Every structure is written in C-alpha cells, then in structure tokens.
Structure 1
Amino acid sequence: MDWPTFLEPIKLSIQISLIASIIMLLLASIIAWRMAKARFIGRSVLDALFMLPLVLPPTVIGFLLLVALGRRSWLGKLYEALFGGPIIFTWESAVVAAVVVAFPLAYRTMKAGFEGIDPSLENAARVYGASEWQVFRHITFPLAFRSVTTGYILGFARGLGEFGATLMIAGNIPGRTQTIPTAIYVAMDGGSMKLAWAWAGSMMALSFIMMLIVNRMAKD
C-alpha cells in the first residue's frame, strides 16, 4: 500500500473536521442558548430553518453553497478580493460544507441541554447581581456541558463523514480537497477495492470511537 496516498485524505479529513467543529461549536452553542431562552413570534420558523440542512439532500446543500460562494456572488467576490482567489474547490470550502451539514445535529443536541436547565437556578444568580455573561459562564454552561460536548462530538463525526455537499463545492483534488468519503468513492469507481476498504475501515474506526465516547458520557 502507498502509505502517503492512504494517509493524505485521512489527515485532510481530520484537519477539515477539526476546524469546522470549532466553528460549529461556537455558532451552535451560542444560537442554541439564545433559542432555548428566547420567546418571540416566528421562533418555530427560525428553529426549522436551523434544522433544514439535516433533511435537505446533500446535492441541494452543495448547490446552494455554490450559488452563495461562487465567483459571481458577493461573498465569493469578497473572499477573492481578500485572499486573492476563489473559495470554491479549496479546503476552506470543504470546511464551510462541513459546518453547514454538522450544525443542525449539534444545535439540536445543545438546545435540548439548555432547555433542560431549571430557570430558577439562573434567576437566583441574577437576584444576587450576576450579569447575563456570569450566569451563562457559571450556571448555564456548566449545567449544559454534557449536552454541548455530545453535540460537538456528533457534529465532528457528521462533518467527518460529509460527502455530497463537499464533492460539489470542494471537488476531489488529491492533496487539496480529497477527504476520506470522496477518496472511497474514487477508489471504488477505479476498482481499487483494497484501498476503498482501508479508507472505509479507518472511517468506521474513527466514528466508532466517537460513538463510544458519546455513549460513555450518556451513562456517566
């Protein structure tokens, strides 16, 4: 087996998933916290929009991302002006795809954790003069920590396994945008079944480890 060829998609997939998961953690935890506490007209509509990528076909997500980040869009033009090249077919675009598809799963898990906190505990802290940031830091977040961590791990795993949207927006460029799922697809298409099995095995091992962590956290 050509080890550099085998390891390259694995390293790139982990790199993309790590960066995407950090972005996803910040977005999902803040939005889930606000949505869990907020009460306003249209809340259910906004909640459905946040969950929409979970049920949309990956090709639809990829198409929408291509439209939003393409060279004719204002986001695409802004990125190109700042960084000197298009974002499409780069590893950065794979990060965007991973964030979008992983967000709903993490958001839903974290939101359930924030909703399960007894409001009287937060109100007691406010009575004693704590600011909203102090309430979040010392009361809300510690109580929801397990749900936030579980959401992060599930989001990381979802981003690691993303295929359809990544293929559309980032392509399958070896050494640049080729992740484990796209590498498996190309290996199967080219008849390299041993290499496809090796990559599939590595993906199953990584996913299995993350699910073990989630299950262990649920039992503790």
Structure 2
Amino acid sequence: MDWHTFFGPIGLSIQISVAASVLVFAASLLIAWRMAKARFLGKSVLETALLLPLVLPPTVVGFVLLVVLGRRSWIGKAYESLFGGPILFTWESAVIAAAVVAFPLAYRTIKTGLQGVDPDLENAARAMGAGEWQVFRYITVPLASRSLASGYILGFCRGLGEFGATLMVAGNIPGRTQTIPTAIYVASDGGSMTMAWAWAGAMIALSFLMLLLVGRMSKD
C-alpha cells in the first residue's frame, strides 16, 4: 500500500472538516442564540430554511452551491477578482460544501442546548446589571457547554462524510480536494477494493470515535 496515497485524503478530509466545523460552530452558536428564545413573525419559515440542507439530497445542495459560487455569480466574481481564480474546485469550495451540509445538525444540537438553560439564572444576571453579551458569555455558554461541544463534534463528523455536494463544487483533485468519501468512490469504481476498504475503515474509525465522545459527554 502506498502510504502517501492512503494518508493524503485522510489528512485533507480532517483539515476541511476542522475548517468547516469552526465556521459552522460560530454561525450556529450566534444564530441559535438569537433563535432559541426569539418570537417573531416568520420564525418557523426561517428555521425551516436553516434546516433544509439536512433533508435535501447532497446533489441538490451541490447544484445550488454550483450556481451560487459559479463564475457568473457575484460571489464567484468577487473571489476571482481578489484571488485571481475561480472558487469552484478549490480547497475553499470543499470547506463551503462541508459547512453547508453540516450546519443544520450542529444548529439543532446547539439550539437545544441553549433552550435548556434555566431562564431564571439568565434573568438573575440581568437583574444584577449584566448586559446581554455578558449573560451569554458567562451564564448561557458555560451552562450549555456540553451541547455546544456536541454540536461542534457532530458538525465535524457530518463534514467529514460529505460526498455529493463536495464532488459537485470541489471535484476530486488529489492533494487539493480529494476527501475520503470521494477517494473511496474513485477507488471502488476503479476496482481498487483494498484501498477503498482501507479508507472506509479509517472513516468508520474516525466517526465512531467522535460519536463515542459525544455519547460520553451526554452521560457525564
């Protein structure tokens, strides 16, 4: 077995998933904080839109991203003017694809944790003169820390296993955008079952460890 070929997609997948899960965690935390206890007209519609990538086929998500990030879109044009090339079929596009599909899972987990914080504790802090940001930072986040960590880990796992959307917007370029799922697809399609099984085993092991960590955190 060529160990460089084996570890290449694994390292790249971890890098992409870490970057995507950081973006997802930050966005999920801020949006969930606002949505957890907010009451406004159209909230259910907005929340449905936020969760939509969770149920849409990855190819549909990939097609939408293909249009949104394409060279004719304002995002694509802005990126190309700044960096001198298209955003599609780059490491950045792989991160975006992983982040989009991972967001709903992380968002739901984090929002559930924030809603579980006792509002009396938050109100007590406000009564003592704490501002909203101080309440969020020193009361809400520490009390919901396990759910926040679980949301991050689940977002990481979802990004790690993303295939359809990543393939459409980032392709399968070894050393640049070839993740474990796309490597498995190419290997199995080409008859390299030993490599396909090796990558599948690595994916199963990584995902198992992450889910085991989430399970232990929920029990402690």
Q: Scaled by the length of structure 2, what TM-score is found?
A: 0.99
- Identity rate, percent: 74
1:167 aligns with 2:154: no
Stretches of structure 2 lacking an aligned partner (at least 5 in a row): none
Q: Secondary structure at the match of 1:130?
A: coil
The aligned runs of 1:114-153 (5 Å cut-off) are 114-153=114-153
Stretches of structure 1 lacking an aligned partner (at least 5 in a row): none
The residue aligned with 2:183 is 183
The 2-side partners of 1:113 and 1:9 are apart by 33
- Counterpart amino acid of residue 127 in structure 1: A
The residue aligned with 1:11 is 11
Deviations 1:158-185 (A, max 9, x none): 0000000000000001111100000000
The residue aligned with 1:154 is 154
The residue aligned with 1:201 is 201
The residue aligned with 1:104 is 104
Structure 1 residue runs of 4 or more that deviate by more than 6 Å after TM superposition: none
- Counterpart amino acid of residue 195 in structure 2: L
The 2-side partners of 1:175 and 1:156 are apart by 20
Structure 1 residue 119, shift from structure 2 partner = 1.0
The residue aligned with 1:56 is 56
The residue aligned with 1:84 is 84
The 1-side partners of 2:176 and 2:85 are apart by 15
The 1-side partners of 2:117 and 2:47 are apart by 19
The residue aligned with 2:113 is 113
Q: Scaled by the length of structure 1, what TM-score is found?
A: 0.99
- Counterpart amino acid of residue 42 in structure 1: G
Q: Secondary structure at the match of 1:162?
A: coil
The residue aligned with 1:218 is 218
The 1-side partners of 2:115 and 2:137 are apart by 16
Structure 1 residue 140, shift from structure 2 partner = 0.5
The 1-side partners of 2:77 and 2:194 are apart by 42
The 1-side partners of 2:218 and 2:199 are apart by 29
Q: Secondary structure at the match of 2:33?
A: helix
Measured on the aligned residues, the alpha-carbon RMSD in Å equals 0.5
The 2-side partners of 1:120 and 1:214 are apart by 28
The residue aligned with 1:73 is 73
Alignment length (residue pairs): 220
The residue aligned with 2:95 is 95
The 1-side partners of 2:159 and 2:174 are apart by 19
The 2-side partners of 1:211 and 1:55 are apart by 21
Structure 1 residue 120, shift from structure 2 partner = 1.1
Deviations 1:8-28 (A, max 9, x none): 000100000011111111000
Deviations 1:49-82 (A, max 9, x none): 1000000000000000000000000000001011
Structure 1 residue 117, shift from structure 2 partner = 1.2
Structure 1 residue 118, shift from structure 2 partner = 1.4
